[in-house]
Chains A and B, each alone.
Chain A
Amino acid sequence: MTTVQSPVPASAAPVSGRARGAGARGAAWLRVAGGLLAVLGALLPWATFVLNEGPYPEKATLQFFVAPLGLTGFRLHLALLGLAAILVSVRAVRGRARIVRALGWGIVATSLVNGLYITVEGGGLGAITASGGSAAFGAVVALIGGAFAAAGAVGGGIEPLPVREWRMPWWAEWLLLLVLFGLLLLVVSAVLTSGGQGGVVNPYAGAVFLSFLAAAGGAFAALHASGLLTWLAAVAERHRVFSIVVLLVMALLLPLTGAGTEYWMTVAANIGVYAATAIGLNIVVGLAGLLDLGYVAFLGIGAFVAANLSGAAASEIGIRLPFPLVMIISAVVAGLFGAVVGSPTLRVRGDYLAIVTLAFGEIFVRSAQNNIGGLTGGANAIPNIPQVSAFGTAFNESIAIGAVTLPAGVLYYVLIVLLVAVVMLVFGNLKNSRLGRAWIAIREDEDAARAMGIRTGPIKILAFLIGATLAGLAGAFFAHKTAVVAYDSFRFLESVTLLAAVILGGMGTIPGAVFGASILFVLPEKLREFADYRLLLFGLALVVIMRFRPQGIIPDRHRRTELAPVTAQDPPPAKGAEA
């Protein structure tokens, strides 16, 4: 007979009060010193000479002595992050350690990006330290500052994420949201345009963009650490309809910001196409848990149907239907194919289903490549698809409203924003419907779902059908926007990319798919220098994400299985933040 008491683990022995006090003071000093060093680093010169491809952006890197306080670009970001770290360190702010940690990492990342870039371009560490009589220690000092701040934050102990429950009158909250989403618009515009259009136009576009991402990421993480983001999300949730309307309006206002050029309108339209498709895929994979490795075929089917009904000279059918009708037909045809591809789900599950969908995708590509039935143009593609036009204006023309001239492609941009909004609406409503709950039940445990009386067969096919329909809609848009449809746009790798967008963003969530698609399209656009390594990095990124954050960047709070291990669940959502 035994009764045993579990011994207290040795590591839990309390630290003496004085030791803790001294440690905390040291950590506080470290945080302040880190912030100061970051500011100092921002003020110091960064490169010892003019780089091969011309002066590094924000010339200040070389012109310390000309304009020591003329802070622009990444040096301004560093100074701001450093000042924020100092301020937060000396004032009692809730969630201080987490905030400073985020700021510290932001400083580290920003100085690393710029320092590394200058080092590589300048042929060695001499470029960022001392060379030929001039010294440039900005990168080193800022890097140390960031590390100090982060170390000081962690050293003082990390408290839980603060929960804020401020309430304001409804009109104040509306105003707040309006300002918030306005700022969001500016941030999105800034992210898109930072570094400008990559490639030949600006050799440093990649570095500037990455640096901006690092700084913005640090600031964003700091906001999250303060509990403000969670609170703002709760406020937005309280005024759900208002938020959605404002967000939509803000999205439509993007052409009026710095991103309002033809180039960015095109990039944004492409993101929109893949975001809409990814949301459709999210129904199949994220909600119903059915892995589809040939999904891009539905985008292709939609595009080819639209191309054939557009009156393009190369199309076999040679009739021209009005665009709205074309969209509907494309969606319906893609949906029918979706049902066909989904029908094996009646008998096949899991990995094998993934292979069946892959096989369908390959059959589609092969058939399109061989110009099946003269419908796809084969290797010649279907070129010269007429532009969509309304009221005598083709959608690829620039338009003038009063004194404001909007860039070419703005009408396509507006169209795709509305399309994505519709797709999101469909997804959101489905997710919270009876059907959505049935899908989730199937995803969690198909046998149990069947035992509960869910007719799993038709419901799984319906997931494929609806997902494919949305992709078909996007395909019709795609055909007209790019004016050329070729089989090459719908290869296996594109399906993997779409899947990656869904997973990267977070399976089963709406913002996840949009966010994932944006990342996967903006990054290659910005990082042209690395174009050769794009797919290599993409493949490695898939491996790394599955290893360290399988639930994606914006995880679904209610999601339990499939990808996230039980132990890696996020902490329970803050009060009042239920989706």
Chain B
Amino acid sequence: MLPTLLSQVANGLVLGSLIGLIALGYTMVYGIIQLINFAHGEIFMVGAYGGLAALTYLLPAAIANQWYLALPIALVAGAVIAALVAVAAERFAYRPLRDAPRLAPLITALGVSVALQEAVRVFYPDATAALPFPSIFIEGTLEIPVPGGTVPIKYAGILLALVSLALAAGLQVFVDRSRTGRAMRATAQDRDIARLMGIDPDRVIVLTFLIGGALAGVGGVLYGGYLNNINIDMGFQNGIFAFTAAVLGGIGSIRGAVVGGLAIGLVKSLGGQYLPGGTAYDYVWIFVVLIVVLVFRPQGFFGETERVRA
């Protein structure tokens, strides 16, 4: 009993920290331009394929087989490609609609999401089916002994969780302490007044997409390394989870995104284990949580004001 419970908790925390990492992109973009960037999940997916491309086509096998060489290169490749795609989407799809009525950018984001997913499916070799993702970290599983058995955690999962949490913490410090972080918060609170302070909102918004995209790209590569296989649907599904996490934590809050992500991860793993229907319905519980939160506490755990747009 106990080992099962603890394994599910561990699984939930690993998945949850990844969802939190993706949620950072949602929460920052929504905080600044009030856009639900539906395409953000696809950015995560693009990052995973970018990392895979670097490992498959860029690196000689001798390097790709050494995880301490392959890992940083794959992470950088995933982050760069994801960030570029995110910035391009902002520049060409969202920016022209900055002052358009509210439905337009949302539908555009849906379009970008569909287009990105399809672009990978059509143009990435063999992407019509799931692709194997090479190992990029110490292989194997850490067995933690507990009363009644052991709790297994993949080393790649530990890496995923630690890197995600570290990046989130780093982002929190950056936004809280740095001059640029202050400019981001100012733009989120009152864009016009931020302009009066000499802040160029366009640059802040690009930076936001860039950071969010890079974080998602890192997440995509780590996710591939953890599950050892990726597919083009991973973006939509995890993207929705991450959005749920962002709302749950309170949109605009970095701390909230992480806590929300962990909560969603736990709901999925524990719900799949203990709630009726099993893993077939774990997905459903997340959406139930999403609806309940949106209806009864739209400001989430850490939201300071209720951001409900008319």
Contacts and interface: CB of A to CB of B under 8 A. Distances in A.
Report A-B touching, CB under 8 Å.
Answer: yes
Contact of A362 (B107, B110, B240): B240
A493 interface: yes
Contacts of A563: 100-101, 103-104
Contacts of A358: 240
Interface string A531-557: 011011011111100110010000000
Contacts of A547: 93, 96-97, 108
13 contacts: A347-B295, A350-B309, A536-B118, A536-B119, A536-B122, A539-B115, A542-B115, A546-B105, A547-B93, A550-B104, A563-B101, A565-B99, A565-B101
Contacts of A355: 36, 243, 247, 290, 294
Across the A-B interface, the 8 shortest Cβ-Cβ residue pairs: A542-B111, A539-B115, A539-B114, A536-B118, A359-B287, A350-B309, A543-B111, A535-B118
**Do most interface residues of chain B lie in helix, strand or loop, or is the interface mixed?**
helix
Contacts of A540: 111, 115
B299 to A, nearest CB: 11
A352 interface: yes
B236 interface: yes
B308 A352 contact: yes
A349 B310 contact: yes
B310 A446 contact: yes
Given A347-B298, A532-B122, 17 more contacts: A291-B103, A350-B308, A350-B309, A351-B102, A352-B298, A533-B118, A535-B117, A538-B114, A538-B118, A539-B112, A542-B107, A546-B100, A546-B107, A546-B108, A562-B101, A563-B103, A565-B101
Contacts of B68: none
A550 B134 CA distance: 44
A370 interface: yes
A370 B280 contact: yes
B146 interface: no
B34 interface: yes
A349 B112 contact: no
Contact of A356 (B119, B284, B291, B309): B291
Contacts of B290: 355-356, 359
A191 interface: no
B287 to A, nearest CB: 4
Q: Is the interface of A mostly helix, strand, loop or mixed?
A: helix
A542 B114 contact: yes
B36 A351 contact: yes
Contacts of B99: 565
B102 to A, nearest CB: 6
B174 interface: no
A576 B128 CA distance: 54
A533 B115 CA distance: 10
Given A355-B36, A550-B100, A363 B111 contact: no
Nearest to A344: B295
B118 A539 contact: yes
Interface string B223-239: 00000000000001000
A543 B94 CA distance: 9
Contacts of A561: 101
Interface in A337-389: 344, 347-352, 354-356, 358-360, 362-363, 366-367, 369-370
A503 interface: yes
A493 B115 CA distance: 12
Contacts of A369: 280
Contacts of B111: 538-543, 546
Contacts of A143: none
A272 B210 CA distance: 44
A358 B294 CA distance: 12
B108 A543 contact: yes
Contact of B103 (A445, A447, A562): A562
Contacts of A562: 101-103
Interface string A146-170: 0000000000000000000000000
B211 to A, nearest CB: 22
